[in-house]
Structure 1
Amino acid sequence: MMQSSFSPAEGFGKAVCGSFAALRFDDIPDDVMARLKLFLLDSIGTVAAGVFAPGVEELARRLARWESSGSATVLGRGRRVSPPSAAMVNAAAAHALDFDDQHDPTRVHSYCCVVPAVLATAEDLGNVSGEAILEAVACGVEFHARLGDACMESFERGWMPTVTFGTLASAMAAGKILGLDADGLANAVGLAYHQASGNGQARTDQTLAKRLGPGFAARSGVLSAFLAADGVTGPHRALEGRDGLFRLYLDGRADASRLQAGLGTRWYVSEFSMKPYPGCRCNHTVIDMGTRLHAEKLDPEAIERVQIYLGEVNYSTVQGKYDPELGSQVHAQFNAAYNLARAIIDGGVSLASFSDEAIRDERVASLAARIDAFVDPGIPVNATGPARLKVFLRDGGEIELSRDTMPGSPARPLSVNAVRRKFEDCVVHGLGADTDKVQELASCILDIEHSNIECLVAAFPAGQNEAGKGGEFEIHAV
């Protein structure tokens, strides 16, 4: 997919930072704010779900050996470390089970980077209001999605836009908490760009490193904002310069105008999707169709084979035969055959679907072995929603299904009750918390504009290291 380019003049990056510096809590419309708070609830729930996940556990233990104290909290563990380290562990936890947000058109996961960066920065500063937290999250998420929209070719070029752009977005959000002006935000974003990386190889190789990417972004963003506050200067042409983001990372194939067009009136924040299922978003339409087949009482043993048809980018992300012998949660999360088989057999995909026992389930593996994915040339290359199935039955019958939209998207949003059930399941799954603790945390988040950072952190339950022992989230009233 080729994107038309717009070459910004010198001073563009600072002007963008000035626009975000000027945005205030009162500028956010009520409907956008309501959605923002639901996503904050969802994001903190995904942190809880991933506290003890493989990859996150090792990261937290390593940092515990290196840091014995600090001014920010590793959520669910109660340990205090430096703000960059707290942001890193909490962001990795938010992304670990792939249950976090996504802006489907640009494929960026923003809240998992931005929220941990904001919370860690706010804890260090102390007595930060809920309004300031919401303002910073809104600006960071908005900046992230707009960067993704400006640089639509980044995913196809091998970058991981969640991480690459999430580093800059985390710096923007943390800088807002610190009260940086346009120059300060420009320095923070410039310092973040100096560290920005993140490629798709960890996803392609389906390794635990995939889970840590948002952690690296949040860590670097927080560090950049604090250094900027301390007077360290960053490259002021981080976006538009000769070696800036647009030229170096995209060969100039970016539309920089999207960073400012309609800022303050069109809110990308309102265009995010909330995942109803854990695992790669590329699988969600396929899972949705699998749940329908389950509801129609299709016997898995009656299936001879299944063909999944996806757009090229989705296909490249979740294609391939499922191999239960790998014993890899990440492999299962990023495999269309596994997710469809699980949906047909169980009627959905839940957090429990990726336990060590579940990913070796012989019945699911047997059905997954009869499922193959293909590119559908009729689906736009970068489209996330559309997918179709062709099911061949042993008796000679055939079933064809197709859908263009995913549950959890703006076109098919989860109900408020469904979001709250998902949150509860995440907190119970990851921390073993009781209902009272779950509701206390939810109430604090949903009323955060009347509270502060200390309330939120104090309400977060301590984990019992019983990951995987919670209930199972199911969609109702999607």
Structure 2
Amino acid sequence: MVGLQFEDLSPEAVREAKRCMLDTLGVQVRGATLPWVQPVYRYVRSVGGNEEATVTYHGDRLGAPYAAYVNSTFSYSCELQHHGSYGSAHTGVIVIPTLQALGEKLGSTGRSLIAAMVAGYEVQGRLGMALFKPASQRHFHPQGLLGVFSAAAAAGKLLGLDAEQQAHAFAIAGSHASSILEYDQAGGEVKRIHGAIALRSGIQSAYLAKEGLTGPLTVFEGRRGIFASFGGGEVAPELPLSQIGRPYCITRCRFRIYPTIGSCHAALDIVNDLMKKHSFDYRDVECIRVGMPEFSVTHVTTVTRPHDVMTAQASLGFSLGLLLVKGSNDLELYIDRALWQDPEVLSVADKLQAYVVADESHPQMARVEVRLKGGRLLEGEQEDARGTEMSPFSDEVMEAKFRRLAVSLPGDQAEHVIHTVARMEEMTSMSQLVPLLQRRSNR
């Protein structure tokens, strides 16, 4: 990763880097306006720091790690962020805010930012190949576990670390790695800062390595290293190093249109299709059986009665209720507290019957049976959700999503963001993009 240059990248990697950037910036702008992440914004304003980087939408100038911290929180605020290659968790909410802040501070070019993006996604994606499943089974959230390393990689690229320094950055980052999954059982909005915690530690690790601090270079494979600590005896340590860049992990991202935990998405796709094809009413539904891999069942079917936005977004039953009763899964519906107790929505949620399907090769698959009163059975199955490499969204869909999320930007700034990101390799510095993301036009 240290020697990776823009010129080394495939056209597909460059294209997907731009799509990831646009996707993250859209969620970031929308997230900056959401009430449940404002405590984080107030916190970073209180600590401030040198005026090195800009808070998206609000325009505050803070120390780069704090600007990155709050921009990451905005990016992870509403479950519309993309997922990296399977197993890597939500790489964009870590790597992109890291590069926004450090790129602005250091005056990095668009080409150097793209190369650093690809490096960060590659590190997190490849570690995820080995760690995602065993760590998740031990109830660790891979976002915080893996993200310290992708942030250290991205920051290290912009800081110009050599191979030895980068190795020590990873070794230092290992002492920061963790986060837990209990949010999908009991709620709370702390998940929104899992990426922020990781990137702050990753940035710090890169700077400390640059200054000469050292760490255990067996951080991954050592007797008490990351693989042993979080993966037990189930980690295949050779996986992260096999066929690096073939293809690049950034070309295998999973984009979203539903503001829910990703394990809900394939089932929502199927029910959406069944509704359009058969035009049934939610009052006609007797039960909805959904088969998914074990992790998905645990991840999104525990909660049936939301008490905050996080539990609403972590509930497949509630999401099916919104879709069948309200005809939509728009973000605004998850925010509406009245709907958390809506008897019609909850009556559908109670009709969900989830069961485990043993399908190791398709970890995000879903099999749905909607049984109507009178005995009619509607069925569907998907190996994965739409928006993945199996069924990718077009650039037009991605741009439309950005426009919806960035509607609060004044004038034609949203269009200028789309135009600038599409030509990101031509940017001479991050300062060309930063003003376009503010609620007060600085153009």
Superposed pair shares fold, TM > 0.5: yes
Deviation, 1:302, is: 1.4
Contact 1:332–1:359 (8 Å) recurs in 2: no
Structure 2 equivalent of residue 168 of structure 1 = 149
DSSP-derived class of the 1:433 partner: coil
Structure 2 equivalent of residue 87 of structure 1 = 68
**Does residue 311 of structure 1 match 2:280?**
no
How do 1:365-444 and structure 2 match up within 5 A?
365-377=345-357, 379-380=358-359, 383-428=362-407, 432-434=408-410, 436-444=412-420
DSSP-derived class of the 1:388 partner: strand
User: Hey, what's the Cα distance between the residues in 2 that align with 1:120 and 1:173?
Assistant: 11
Change over 3 Å in CA distance of 1:217–1:116 after alignment to 2 = same
What one-letter code is carried by the residue in structure 2 that aligns with 1:441? V
Structure 2 equivalent of residue 232 of structure 1 = 213
**Does residue 197 of structure 1 match 2:178?**
yes
Structure 1 equivalent of residue 439 of structure 2 = 462
Structure 1 equivalent of residue 3 of structure 2 = 22
What one-letter code is carried by the residue in structure 1 that aligns with 2:241? Q
User: Among 49, 55, 75, which residue is 1:74 paired with?
Assistant: 55
Structure 2 equivalent of residue 335 of structure 1 = 315
Deviation, 1:284, is: 0.4
Structure 2 gaps, min length 5: none
Change over 3 Å in CA distance of 1:317–1:382 after alignment to 2 = farther
Contact 1:144–1:169 (8 Å) recurs in 2: yes
User: Hey, what's the Cα distance between the residues in 1 that align with 2:148 and 2:219?
Assistant: 13
Contact 1:294–1:347 (8 Å) recurs in 2: no
Structure 1 gaps, min length 5: 1-19, 465-478
User: Hey, what's the Cα distance between the residues in 1 that align with 2:184 and 2:303?
Assistant: 16
User: Hey, what's the Cα distance between the residues in 1 that align with 2:91 and 2:23?
Assistant: 12
Deviation, 1:447, is: 1.1
Change over 3 Å in CA distance of 1:222–1:90 after alignment to 2 = same
What one-letter code is carried by the residue in structure 2 that aligns with 1:109? H
How do 1:33-432 and structure 2 match up within 5 A?
33-67=14-48, 69-103=50-84, 105-106=86-87, 108-125=89-106, 127-151=107-131, 152-295=133-276, 296-320=278-302, 322-324=304-306, 326=307, 328-357=308-337, 359-360=339-340, 362=342, 364-377=344-357, 379-380=358-359, 383-428=362-407, 432=408
Deviation, 1:84, is: 1.4
DSSP-derived class of the 1:117 partner: helix
Q: How many residues align?
A: 438
Contact 1:322–1:365 (8 Å) recurs in 2: no
Per-residue CA deviation, residues 297-326 of structure 1 (Å, 9 max, x unaligned), is: 2111112222222211100000135215x2
Judge which range, 300-309 or 189-198, deviates more.
Answer: 300-309
DSSP-derived class of the 2:245 partner: coil
Contact 2:120–2:151 (8 Å) recurs in 1: yes
Deviation, 1:361, is: 6.7
Per-residue CA deviation, residues 7-66 of structure 1 (Å, 9 max, x unaligned), is: xxxxxxxxxxxxx10111111101221122111111111111211334421011022122
Deviation, 1:385, is: 2.8
Contact 1:71–1:82 (8 Å) recurs in 2: yes
Change over 3 Å in CA distance of 1:252–1:361 after alignment to 2 = closer
Contact 1:192–1:224 (8 Å) recurs in 2: yes
Contact 1:336–1:373 (8 Å) recurs in 2: no
User: Hey, what's the Cα distance between the residues in 2 that align with 1:248 and 1:94?
Assistant: 29
User: Hey, what's the Cα distance between the residues in 2 that align with 1:361 and 1:23?
Assistant: 52
DSSP-derived class of the 1:21 partner: coil
> Following superposition, which runs of at least 4 residues in structure 1 exceed 3 angstroms of deviation?
345-348, 357-361, 381-384
User: Hey, what's the Cα distance between the residues in 2 that align with 1:368 and 1:330?
Assistant: 19
User: Hey, what's the Cα distance between the residues in 1 that align with 2:351 and 2:413?
Assistant: 42
Change over 3 Å in CA distance of 1:163–1:27 after alignment to 2 = same
User: Among 411, 421, 424, which residue is 1:445 paired with?
Assistant: 421
Deviation, 1:236, is: 2.2
Change over 3 Å in CA distance of 1:236–1:270 after alignment to 2 = same
User: Hey, what's the Cα distance between the residues in 2 that align with 1:321 and 1:460?
Assistant: 35
User: Hey, what's the Cα distance between the residues in 2 that align with 1:165 and 1:62?
Assistant: 25
Deviation, 1:346, is: 4.0
User: How well do the aligned residues superpose, as a CA RMSD in angstroms?
Assistant: 2.0
